[in-house]
Amino acid sequence: RLKQTCKKVCFCGQFSQIKMVSNQNAIRLINTTYADQVVNIGEITLGEETRNRMKNTQGRESERRQIINAACALLNSGGGLILMLPKNDNYTLSDGLGLDIELGLRELVRPQTIQDNFTYLQVDVYTIIFVKSWSADLISSGGVKARISSIDCQAYKRCGTSTLKIAPNEFYHFFNQKKLMVGRAQGLSPKRMRINNSQDKMLKVVKNFCNQKNIKISEAVEFGESEYTEFKSFEGRNLQTRLGENLVKYISAFGNTNGGFFITGIDDKTKKVVGCGKGIDPEFFKILMENTFKKLITIHFDNCSSQRSVEYNLHIINVIDDLETRHGYVMALEVKKHCCVIFSKNPESFKIEGGCVLGVWVCLCESCGGLAPCPGLVPALCPVLAGIGPIQKQQYTKHTTFLNISFCVVKSEGIESIPAPLCSRLFEKFERFDDNLKPNGEQGVLIFSKSWAVDIEMEKNDNVICDALLFCTNSFPVLYTVVEKATEELLEYSRQTAYQIKQKLVNVGGYSDWICVIPKLFELPSRTVISSETNCPGFKLKNQYPEDYRIFDVKAILRSLVLVMLSFKSPLSDQLGCEFLNLLTIEQFEILNSKCNIEDFSSMFVHGLPGTGKTVIAEMLIRRIQRTFHCRPEEVLYICENQPLRDYMR
Amino acid sequence: RLKQTCKKVCFCGQFSQIKMVSNQNAIRLINTTYADQVVNIGEITLGEETRNRMKNTQGRESERRQIINAACALLNSGGGLILMLPKNDNYTLSDGLGLDIELGLRELVRPQTIQDNFTYLQVDVYTIIFVKSWSADLISSGGVKARISSIDCQAYKRCGTSTLKIAPNEFYHFFNQKKLMVGRAQGLSPKRMRINNSQDKMLKVVKNFCNQKNIKISEAVEFGESEYTEFKSFEGRNLQTRLGENLVKYISAFGNTNGGFFITGIDDKTKKVVGCGKGIDPEFFKILMENTFKKLITIHFDNCSSQRSVEYNLHIINVIDDLETRHGYVMALEVKKHCCVIFSKNPESFKIEGGCVLGVWVCLCESCGGLAPCPGLVPALCPVLAGIGPIQKQQYTKHTTFLNISFCVVKSEGIESIPAPLCSRLFEKFERFDDNLKPNGEQGVLIFSKSWAVDIEMEKNDNVICDALLFCTNSFPVLYTVVEKATEELLEYSRQTAYQIKQKLVNVGGYSDWICVIPKLFELPSRTVISSETNCPGFKLKNQYPEDYRIFDVKAILRSLVLVMLSFKSPLSDQLGCEFLNLLTIEQFEILNSKCNIEDFSSMFVHGLPGTGKTVIAEMLIRRIQRTFHCRPEEVLYICENQPLRDYMR
Ligand SMILES: [Zn+2]
Ligand SMILES: [Zn+2]
The pLDDT assigned to A16 comes to: 40
Higher pLDDT, A486 or A195: A486
**How confident is the model over A374-412, as pLDDT tens digits?**
222 222 222 233 332 223 333 333 444 444 444 445 666
CA–CA gap between residue A260 and residue B528 (Å, rounded): 43
Q: Is the pLDDT of residue B519 over 70?
A: yes
Report the residue of A46, A159, A201 to disrupt the B interface, i.e. the one with the largest count of B CBs within 10 Å: A159
pLDDT band at A350, cuts 50/70/90?
confident
State what percent of residues in chain B have pLDDT above 90: 30
Q: Cβ of B94 and A548 within 8 Å?
A: no
Strand blocks (E) in A65-116: 80-86
Cα B254 to ligand 2 centre (Å): 15
Quick one: pLDDT at residue B333?
Answer: 96
Q: Residue count of chain B, please give it.
A: 650
User: Rounded mean pLDDT of A285-291?
Assistant: 93
pLDDT at position A174 is: 80
Task: Determine the pLDDT at residue B538.
Answer: 56
Shortest alpha-carbon distance between residue A111 and chain B (Å): 6
Amino acid in the structure at residue B411: K
- A438 burial type by CB count under 10 A (0-12 exposed, 13-18 middle, 19+ buried): middle
| Per-residue confidence (pLDDT) for residue B561, from 0 to 100 | 81
Mean pLDDT to the nearest integer, A171-181: 75
B230 is known as an active-site residue: yes
Query: Given the DSSP bridges, would you call strands B80-86 and B38-44 parallel, antiparallel or unpaired?
Result: parallel
B310 pLDDT more than 60: yes
Give A343's Cβ-side CA count (13 Å radius): 18
B371 touching A (Cβ < 8 Å): no
- Is the pLDDT at A173 greater than 80? The verdict is no
Confidence band of B448 (pLDDT split at 50, 70, 90) = confident
**DSSP reduced 3-state for B88:** coil
A120-124, A539-543, B483-487, B609-613: segment of lowest average pLDDT? B609-613
pLDDT at A81 over 90: yes
Measured in whole angstroms, the distance separating CA A415 from the mean position of its chain's CA atoms is 35
Q: At A629, which amino acid appears?
A: F
Q: Which of A49, A222, A546 sits opposite B198 (nearest CB)?
A: A546
Question: Given this model, what pLDDT does residue B230 score?
Answer: 94
More confident residue, B219 or A618: B219
pLDDT in tens, A429-479: 888 888 888 888 788 888 888 777 766 667 778 888 888 999 998 899 999
Q: What is the pLDDT of residue B195?
A: 43
What pLDDT, on the 0 to 100 scale, is given for residue B578?
Answer: 31
Residue B256 pLDDT class (50, 70, 90 cuts):
very high
Chain center to CA of A350? 9
* Maximum C-alpha span of chain B: 108
pLDDT tens figures, A292-341: 998 888 877 767 777 788 999 999 999 999 998 998 999 999 999 998 88
What burial letters (b/e) apply to A26-63, b meaning 16+ CB within 10 Å? bbebbebbbbbbbbbbeebbbbbebbeeeeeeeebeeb
Would you give the DSSP letter of residue B505? H
User: Residue B575, CB half-sphere, CA atoms under 13 Å: how many?
Assistant: 6
Residue-level pLDDT at B352? 84
Instruction: Tell me whether A25 touches chain B (CB under 8 Å).
Output: no
Question: Each residue of A96-145: pLDDT tens digit?
Answer: 899 999 999 999 988 888 998 999 999 888 999 999 987 644 433 333 34
Q: How confident is the model at residue B144 (pLDDT cuts 50, 70, 90)?
A: very low
Structure letter (DSSP) for residue B8: E
- Taking 3-state DSSP, the helix, strand and coil percentages for chain A, each rounded to the nearest 5, stand at 35, 25, 40
A260 in contact with B at a CB cutoff of 8 Å?
A: no
B449 in helix, strand or coil?
A: strand
Query: Which range among A397-401, A558-562, B52-56, B107-111 shows the weakest confidence by mean pLDDT?
Result: A397-401
pLDDT at B646: 64
Q: What is the pLDDT of residue B199?
A: 63
Euclidean distance between CA atoms A219 and A231, whole angstroms? 14
Q: Between the ranges A20-29, A336-345, B440-449, where is the mean pLDDT highest?
A: A336-345
Does B570 score more than 80 pLDDT?
no
Confidence grade of residue B427 (pLDDT, cut at 50, 70, 90): confident
Query: Are B94 and A226 a contacting pair at CB < 8 A?
Result: yes
Chain A residues inside the 8 Å CB shell of B474: 192, 195
A375 touches chain B (CB under 8 A): no
pLDDT at B172 over 80: no
> Which chain A residues have a beta carbon less than 8 Å from that of B155?
none
Q: Is the peptide bond before B419 cis (omega within 30 degrees of 0)?
A: yes
Question: Among the listed ranges A222-236, A514-528, B414-428, which one has the minimum average pLDDT value?
Answer: B414-428
Q: How far apart (Å, rounded) are the C-alpha atoms in residues B470 and B435?
A: 12
User: What is the pLDDT confidence band of residue A35, given thresholds at 50, 70 and 90?
Assistant: very high
pLDDT band at A650 (very low <50, low <70, confident <90, very high): low
Handedness of CA A57, A58, A59, A65 (dihedral sign): positive
- Find the mean pLDDT for residues A484-490: 91
The residue ranking higher by pLDDT, A502 or B241, is: A502
Q: How crowded is the C-beta side of A650, counted as CA atoms within 13 Å?
A: 13
B389 phi and psi, to 5 degrees? -80, 165
pLDDT score for A99: 92
Classify residue A584 by its DSSP letter: -
Mean pLDDT over the full length of chain A: 75
pLDDT at B603: 61
What is the rounded average pLDDT for all residues in chain B?
Answer: 75
Nearest CA in chain A to B550: A196
Looking at residues A415-419, what average pLDDT do you find? 76
Q: In this model, does residue B142 exceed pLDDT 80?
A: no
A583-612 burial by CB neighbour count: b if 16+ within 10 A, else e? bbbeebbebbbebbebeeeeeeeeeeeeee
Least confident range from A82-91, A204-213, A482-491, A598-607: namely: A598-607
Say whether pLDDT at B400 is over 50.
Answer: no
- % pLDDT > 90, chain A: 30
Q: What is the per-residue pLDDT for B248?
A: 94
Question: Which residues in chain B (315-344) have CB-CB distances under 8 A to chain A?
Answer: none
Provide the Cα torsion B351, B354, B355, B359; round to 10°. -30
Instruction: Tell me, yes or no, if B140 comes closer than 8 A to chain A by beta carbon.
Output: yes
Residue A304's pLDDT is what?
77
Angle ∠(A365,B118,A163) on CA atoms, nearest 5: 55
Q: Is the pLDDT of residue B163 over 80?
A: yes
Q: Give the separation between CA A415 and CA A471, rounded to whole angstroms.
A: 9
Q: What is the structure's pLDDT at B185?
A: 66
pLDDT at B647 (0 to 100):
67
B219 pLDDT above the threshold of 50 = yes
Cα–Cα distance between A387 and B498 in angstroms, integer?
A: 39
Please give the pLDDT value at position B369. 28
Q: Which of residues 40-79 of B touch A (CB under 8 A)?
A: 48-49
What values do phi and psi take at A532, rounded to 5? -65, -20
Contact A160 B102 (CB under 8 A): yes
Residue B390 has pLDDT above 60, yes or no: no
The fold adopted by the segment(s) B156-343 is: 3.30.950
Residue B604 at interface with chain A, using a CB cutoff of 8 Å = no
Domains of chain B by residue range: 2-151+348-367, 156-343, 379-565
Q: Tell me, what's the pLDDT at A424? A: 78
- What is the reported pLDDT for A481? 93
Is B366 or A66 the better-scoring residue by pLDDT?
A66
Catalytic residue among B227, B230, B416, B619: B230
Classify A340 as helix, strand or coil.
coil
Q: Are A361 and A18 in contact (CB under 8 A)?
A: yes
Distance, in Å, from the CA atom of B584 to the CA atom of B373, rounded to the nearest integer, reads 14
Average pLDDT, integer, range B291-313 = 83
At residue B234, φ and ψ (nearest 5 deg) are -110, 145
What pLDDT is recorded for position A140?
Answer: 38
**A223 contacts on B by Cβ (under 8 Å):** 94
- Give me the pLDDT at residue A573, please: 35
β-pairing, A118-123 with A126-131?
antiparallel
What chain A residue is nearest to B159 in terms of C-alpha separation?
Answer: A113
Q: Measured in whole angstroms, how far is the alpha carbon of residue B120 from the centre of its chain? A: 22
Whether the ω angle into residue A419 lies within 30 degrees of 0, i.e. cis, is yes
> Residue A46's pLDDT band (boundaries 50, 70, 90)?
very high
Q: Which pLDDT score is estimated for B190?
A: 44
Q: What is the pLDDT of residue B153?
A: 84
Between CA B100 and CA A256 the distance in angstroms is: 24
Backbone angles phi, psi at A319, to 5 degrees: -100, 125
